[in-house]
Structure 1
Amino acid sequence: MIYIIMGVSGCGKSALGAFLSEKLGWPLHEGDHFHPQGNIEKMARGEPLTDQDRLPWLLKLHEVIERGRCSRSDALVTCSALKRLYRQILLYGSKALDSSSGPDHNILPPTPPDVFFLFLHGDYDLIQQRMVARRGHYMKADLLRSQFDVLEPPSDEENVLPLAISRSITDMAVEVQTHIVRLKSST
């Protein structure tokens, strides 16, 4: 099973991912580590990424997800995955691009049953406070508005488990663990 921990920058993807990785014994693939250097430099300058900037990064993460799925491994992946198209690229790679531009766009199959999105969502002010307080991250707090502007919250058909970040990491992790137990007992 693959859980993609998603949401705007500063919502706690890395913290929840590290906590779950420790609790579950699953590997964590930190999405930030897959960004090309140019993306990191652009964000460090306070410039929002474009869809074109994100594409190589999303395709790398698609490869990570596919390797896990093909080997039937359990894993956690962090990725902002702000738009539906980005989530489709994570799941289907470049095939998502072909289907999004054709006359019959959205012809991709539904989200695979072994992939789930954990959507960390919360109030802009709370997330901005967290971003201002954190140290050593290249993503600047003033880019948060651009992330909220492009955010397309996932729909139920995308195998999403929404998690309010106003709750503690422990509470969110318990909900995820309950979700995993329920899924594994139904298969």
Structure 2
Amino acid sequence: MIYIIMGVSGCGKSTLGAVLSEKLGWPLYEGDDYHPQENIEKMARGEALTDQDRLPWLLKLHEIIQRERSSGSDALVVCSALKRLYRQILLNGSKALAASSSQDQEIQPSTSTGVFFLFLHGDYDLIYQRMVARRGHYMKADLLRSQFDALEPPLDDENVLSLDISRSITDMAMVVEKHINRLKTTPAVF
């Protein structure tokens, strides 16, 4: 299984990922580590990334997801995945881009891929305060509004488990562990 921990900057993706990685013994791929240097510099200047800026980053994360899936491994991937198209790229790579450029065709995320999105969501003011308080991150709190503006919350057909960040990290991790256990004990339907 692959869990992509998604949401706007400052919602606790990396913290939840680290806790889950330690509890489950799964590798954690921190999306921020795969941004091209140009993206990091742009965000550090307070400039929002464009879809074009994000494309190489999303394709790199797609490669990691595919590699882990191909090997039959479990893994955690931290990625904002703000838009439906971004989530489709994470799942389908460049095929999602071809489908999005076609007027009548859209790749729908598969509900049987073994890839699940953990959508961390919460109040703008709470997340803004967290971002102001954190140190050493290149993403400026002033960019949070652009992330909320770009956010397309995932739909049920995207294998999503929504987690309200007003809950503690421990509580959210327990919900995820229950989800995993339920999936592992439920027989596959063919």
> Which residue is equivalent to 1:89?
89
Q: What is the distance in 1 between the residues matched to 2:83 and 2:103?
A: 20
> Which residue is equivalent to 1:49?
49
Q: Is the 1:9–1:80 Cα contact (8 Å) retained in structure 2?
A: yes
Correspondence 1:113 to 2:113: yes
In structure 2, the residue corresponding to 1:181 is in which secondary structure? helix
Q: Is the 1:2–1:74 Cα contact (8 Å) retained in structure 2?
A: yes
Q: What is the distance in 1 between the residues matched to 2:21 and 2:108?
A: 30
> Which residue is equivalent to 1:67?
67
Which digits, 9 at most, give the CA deviation of each residue in 1:51-71, with x for residues without a partner? 000000000000000001101
TM-score calculated relative to the size of structure 1: 0.98
Q: How many residue pairs align between the two structures?
A: 187
Gaps of 5+ in 2: none
Q: What is the distance in 1 between the residues matched to 2:23 and 2:137?
A: 25
> Which residue is equivalent to 2:162?
162
Q: What is the distance in 1 between the residues matched to 2:109 and 2:166?
A: 33
CA displacement at 1:113 relative to structure 2:
3.3
Which digits, 9 at most, give the CA deviation of each residue in 1:23-81, with x for residues without a partner? 00000000000000000000000000000000000000000000011011000000000
Q: What is the distance in 2 between the residues matched to 1:116 and 1:148?
A: 21
CA displacement at 1:106 relative to structure 2:
1.3
CA displacement at 1:111 relative to structure 2:
3.9
> Which residue is equivalent to 1:16?
16
* AA at the equivalent of 1:57: W
Percent identity for Structure 1 against Structure 2:
79
Q: Is the 1:99–1:108 Cα contact (8 Å) retained in structure 2?
A: no
Gaps of 5+ in 1: none
Q: What is the distance in 2 between the residues matched to 1:105 and 1:135?
A: 43
In structure 1, the residue corresponding to 2:80 is in which secondary structure? coil
Q: Is the 1:117–1:158 Cα contact (8 Å) retained in structure 2?
A: yes
TM-score calculated relative to the size of structure 2: 0.96
CA displacement at 1:103 relative to structure 2:
2.7
Q: What is the distance in 2 between the residues matched to 1:53 and 1:107?
A: 21
Q: Is the 2:88–2:107 Cα contact (8 Å) retained in structure 1?
A: no
In structure 2, the residue corresponding to 1:33 is in which secondary structure? helix
Q: Is the 2:16–2:169 Cα contact (8 Å) retained in structure 1?
A: yes
* AA at the equivalent of 1:82: L
